[in-house]
Structure 1
């Protein structure tokens, strides 16, 4: 398989070097470049169009949110993982609303980064446990409010979730439905956003609760 291509935008040189060293230990990953501020990051993203962007939020020339929004708007194949010291709700929610699909705090064990990137690229949404707890507490009241069930997800999104609930992998689902992996993952990410969840397990649980997926 083609290596997972990665771009790092981080202003702390020590962190950049640490991430670079970690990525070099993974045979299935390739570092395309590193940048230290927003301007360099935007240019690097457009030049390389990576599979994964690892981005800090506090950059000297602006916010990493700008890079997330740019990737969301112009690089549909790029998954965004925030790696930052900011664990407060405003930063988390702003990042997720901008299009990030992973959010890790910098106290995450460095050795876990490779697996988290693989998980992100496979359709997961790696989130530090303390952040996940915040999100669950924040979204819990909303989960009890009635929704327009059938209109919430498109037929294609419901079909992908139905097969997921039956235990099929995303690659198997793409093959069965005659979809490219990119198209299939687009359905997955859209359904996650509509259901306000960040993992396949949460999506299946919410879809079942709303009657969108039936075993």
Structure 2
């Protein structure tokens, strides 16, 4: 599937070319090749200033004491401990900092532990560079980006805890079609082509979906709609 500039990444470009300063980002990733690849993508992105790219908890703790980023990207499995400890530390010390988990771990217990400690988003590494950049801008704007696979884990966990969904929330047939395709990872242009409608129409349906579900991200919409039984993301 192809990728297109999302509203979040476009906002990042606007930040870069306008008067608003670039987002500062710090990256904690222990695997050298992965760290180098991610750092390169971040450094090349309009609207982002990469201020730290480090491999250990100790290094990142020391770096954060000197300068705090707008967005902290954290892996969970590190050579000198767990990224969960850094999330708790950073959230308690600098609550305005946005924290994004980037990991290969899709275990629901890890996800919930990270969120409970203060993580704002949770992304799997196999989502790709475009998804990561979108997530960075999304989380900086107050969103909570979560990989669709992770959202499905959480839906299954919470299903038993939500026996009485809000029956007043409903989606039109077209809105369900748009969200169903979004849940599968299709970009606006691909959804438009598959449904035979314009890209602007897809964007309009998406805004209506967000308003109805009271969310501000694709992952949030997929999560809520699945929890309410409005779509099946499989």
Partner of 1:101: 120
Partner of 2:161: 142
Whether the 8 Å CA contact 1:124–1:200 is kept in 2: the answer is no
- 1:52 is aligned to 2:71: yes
3-state SS of 1:32 partner = strand
Runs of 4+ in 1 over 6 A off after TM superposition: 166-170, 200-204
Query: What is the root-mean-square deviation of aligned Cα atoms in Å?
Result: 2.8
Deviation at 1:111, TM superposition (A): 2.5
Partners of 2:154 and 2:116 lie apart in 1 by: 13
Deviation at 1:46, TM superposition (A): 2.0
Partner of 1:13: 32
Whether the 8 Å CA contact 2:146–2:220 is kept in 1: the answer is no
Deviations 1:153-176 (A, max 9, x none): xxxxxxxxxxx9599999xxxxxx
3-state SS of 1:126 partner = coil
Partners of 1:45 and 1:145 lie apart in 2 by: 44
Question: Which of 220, 228, 232 is the equivalent residue of 1:199?
Answer: 220
> Which blocks of at least 5 consecutive residues in structure 1 are unaligned?
147-163, 171-197, 207-215
Deviations 1:167-204 (A, max 9, x none): 9999xxxxxxxxxxxxxxxxxxxxxxxxxxx8378689
Deviation at 1:112, TM superposition (A): 2.2
Deviation at 1:144, TM superposition (A): 3.0
> Which blocks of at least 5 consecutive residues in structure 2 are unaligned?
1-19, 166-209, 228-234
Partner of 2:99: 80
**What TM-score do you get using the length of structure 2 for normalisation?**
0.62
Deviation at 1:108, TM superposition (A): 1.1
**What TM-score do you get using the length of structure 1 for normalisation?**
0.67
Deviations 1:49-89 (A, max 9, x none): 11101110000000000110011101112111111111112
Deviation at 1:127, TM superposition (A): 1.0
